């Protein structure tokens, strides 16, 4: 099994009160002092974090700094230090780089004041016997440097982060199995990495746990709390992917070359960009990497720049195929000025997938390889947005019931199943409904005659109405009565009456 096909495992290592821990890590003698970290704002100075001794004396985060000082006893050495986020982040990054033996990809949490290390431990736990041993060894290493940690391993970044934040000092680590949904639904909503205002609002509505939140309608959550809450829920459940940005800067695979004189001859231009492409591929080859996204910039003598992106379904290592796809796009370029320079950069690099040949099965990898190559060619010539796969959405509004996902992007979550009968929806839907004039026997009834431009449709039979009323909370209020109608000459149309103003529209057809 390749590493790419393994289920993702993420380790989150949280350093509680990191600003205080960082100070004690750098100056160990501060451990015996009453240490507070002060945050300054336009309202004054307040305690941001404090050590155990200060907490025992009664100091609480959020109290005024002057008040905190009064808790110190005569024999206590009171030390107040200003909050220095940059230094906190720098030391955390340094720590992350020292932990590289536990993961190939270590990053910090996405926050203004990061306190967590995130590690991708997919497929490496067996080097340490299992995940429990890996977490224990990591914790032991850090505690030997007097660092207190909480460690959680889970399937997603969001879940690992949430669980780590819930752990207590007496049980500082937890390994969640891939299918442990019980733990997820029991987590409090504070584990969602959402702003405090959102948490307070949810608490006011009586929502305490993730499980309660998951039972609510997504559309109403979106309208009340915005996209951020849905994003965090999806990241927690794994519906939306989340990448760890590694601390160690990634190597760049970029080649740039400028010319003294501009090129105008197509043959010379092709020779030039081919040589640059081969140099980029030569940078990738020793590391056994391919690219899924090649960005090319062509600099012109009139100081204009043309940018072309070559996107692929899978990482490609060969220069010939990349050249072929680049050529497809260059064929459509019209340059009016000589070419003076080119910059090429391989952006999404990854090891190429080399599947084993199937011995017996008929549907071979060869077929998939050909299809991937076809998609690459079509997408690079027609544009990535023109070569798509349709996915269904759980939205009753016909024009919003599907989504076209570019095939060069990653696959999304499994779509909802279709619940309509075969003839309930027309195979052709107009991008915008066509306004038609209608004559109906009853004011609220089905049409008997429809007029569209100079065409008259005599309606022989109808089926409906199908009332679609949705989305008032989203701003796009749809209130329609749909009819399937057949004309006197047998044509099948899909029309609707907009209930707000009783206007008729032709929306689709059995073309």
For residue 431, give the nearest of 508, 511, 503, 484 by alpha carbon: 508
Q: In this chain, which of 179, 363, 442, 454 binds another protein, going by CB under 8 A?
A: 363
Per CB under 8 A, does 250 bind another protein? no
For residue 153, give the nearest of 145, 144, 169, 137 by alpha carbon: 137
Rounded Cα distance between 377 and 398, Å, is: 31
Structure tokens at 413: 């979550």
Smallest distance from another protein to CB 133, Å? 39
Rounded Cα distance between 295 and 279, Å, is: 14
Per CB under 8 A, does 358 bind another protein? no
Residue with tokens 């609480």: 60
Q: In this chain, which of 16, 352, 415, 465 binds another protein, going by CB under 8 A?
A: 415
Query: What are the two backbone dihedrals, phi and then psi, of residue 147, each rounded to the nearest 5 degrees?
Result: -105, 130
Measured from the CB atom, the residue of 198 and 448 that comes closer to another protein is 448
Residue with tokens 């084993």: 356
Query: What are the two backbone dihedrals, phi and then psi, of residue 287, each rounded to the nearest 5 degrees?
Result: -90, 5
Per CB under 8 A, does 84 bind another protein? no
Smallest distance from another protein to CB 480, Å? 16
Q: In this chain, which of 375, 450, 459, 478 binds another protein, going by CB under 8 A?
A: 375
232 by DSSP, 3-state: which? helix
Per CB under 8 A, does 392 bind another protein? yes
Rounded Cα distance between 387 and 400, Å, is: 19
* Number of chain residues interacting with another protein (CB under 8 A): 55
Per CB under 8 A, does 359 bind another protein? no
Per CB under 8 A, does 463 bind another protein? yes
Measured from the CB atom, the residue of 275 and 367 that comes closer to another protein is 367
- Binding pattern for the stretch 430-449 against another protein, x by CB under 8 A and - elsewhere: xx------------------
Q: What is the C-alpha end-to-end distance of the chain, expressed in Å? A: 47
Per CB under 8 A, does 365 bind another protein? no
Measured from the CB atom, the residue of 243 and 411 that comes closer to another protein is 411
Per CB under 8 A, does 97 bind another protein? no
355: exposed, middle or buried (Cβ count in 10 Å: 0-12, 13-18, 19+): exposed
Q: Which sign, positive or negative, has the C-alpha torsion 373, 374, 380, 383?
A: negative
Measured from the CB atom, the residue of 15 and 494 that comes closer to another protein is 494
Measured from the CB atom, the residue of 249 and 431 that comes closer to another protein is 431
Residue 34 near residue 78, CB atoms below 8 Å:
yes
Give contact residues for another protein (rule: CB under 8 A): 362-363, 367, 370-371, 373-375, 377-378, 381-383, 386-392, 398, 401-402, 404, 407, 415, 418, 420-431, 460-461, 463, 484, 486-493, 508-511
């Amino acid at each position: 099994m390749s590493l790419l096909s393994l289920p993702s495992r993420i380790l989150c290592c949280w350093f509680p009160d990191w600003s205080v821990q960082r100070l004690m890590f750098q100056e160990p003698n501060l451990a015996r002092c009453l240490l507070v970290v002060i945050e300054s704002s336009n309202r004054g100075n307040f305690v941001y974090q404090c050590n155990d001794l200060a907490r025992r004396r009664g100091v609480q985060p959020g109290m005024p700094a002057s008040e905190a000082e009064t808790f110190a006893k005569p024999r206590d050495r009171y030390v107040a230090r200003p909050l220095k986020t940059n230094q906190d982040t720098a030391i955390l990054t340094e720590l992350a780089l020292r932990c590289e033996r536990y993961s190939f990809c270590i990053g910090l949490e996405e926050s203004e004041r990061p306190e967590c290390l995130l590690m991708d431990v997919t497929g490496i736990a067996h080097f340490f016997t299992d995940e429990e041993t890996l977490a224990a060894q990591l914790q032991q290493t850090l505690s030997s440097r007097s660092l207190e940690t909480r460690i959680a391993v889970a399937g997603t970044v969001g879940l690992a982060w949430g669980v780590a934040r819930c752990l207590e000092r007496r049980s500082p680590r937890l390994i969640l199995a891939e299918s442990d949904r019980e733990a997820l639904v029991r987590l409090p909503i504070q584990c969602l990495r959402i702003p405090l205002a959102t948490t307070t609002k949810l608490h006011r509505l009586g929502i305490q746990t993730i499980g309660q939140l998951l039972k609510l309608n997504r559309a109403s959550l979106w309208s009340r709390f915005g996209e951020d809450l849905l994003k965090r829920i999806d990241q927690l459940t794994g519906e939306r992917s989340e990448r760890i940005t590694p601390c160690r800067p990634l190597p760049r695979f970029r080649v740039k070359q400028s010319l003294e004189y501009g090129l105008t001859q197509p043959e010379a231009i092709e020779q030039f960009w081919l040589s640059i492409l081969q140099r980029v591929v030569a940078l990738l080859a020793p590391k056994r990497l391919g690219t899924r996204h090649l960005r090319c910039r062509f600099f012109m003598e009139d100081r204009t720049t043309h940018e072309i992106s070559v996107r692929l379904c899978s990482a490609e290592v060969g220069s010939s195929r990349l050249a072929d796809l680049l050529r497809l796009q260059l064929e459509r370029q019209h340059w009016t000025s000589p070419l003076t320079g080119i910059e090429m950069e391989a952006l999404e690099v990854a090891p190429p997938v080399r599947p084993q040949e199937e011995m017996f099965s008929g549907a071979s990898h060869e077929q998939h390889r050909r299809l991937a190559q076809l998609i690459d060619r079509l997408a690079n010539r027609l544009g990535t947005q023109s070569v798509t796969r349709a996915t269904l959405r759980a939205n009753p509004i016909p024009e919003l019931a599907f989504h076209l996902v570019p095939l060069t992007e990653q696959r999304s979550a499994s779509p909802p199943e279709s619940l309509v009968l075969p003839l309930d929806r027309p195979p052709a839907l107009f991008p915008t409904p066509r306004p038609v004039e209608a004559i109906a026997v009853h004011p609220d009834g089905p049409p008997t005659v429809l007029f569209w431009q100079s065409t008259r449709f005599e309606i022989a039979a109808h089926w409906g109405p199908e009332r679609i009323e949705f989305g008032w909370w989203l701003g796009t209020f749809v209130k329609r009565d749909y009819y399937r109608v057949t004309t006197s000459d047998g044509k099948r149309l899909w029309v609707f009456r907009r209930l707000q103003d009783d206007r008729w529209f032709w929306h689709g057809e059995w073309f």
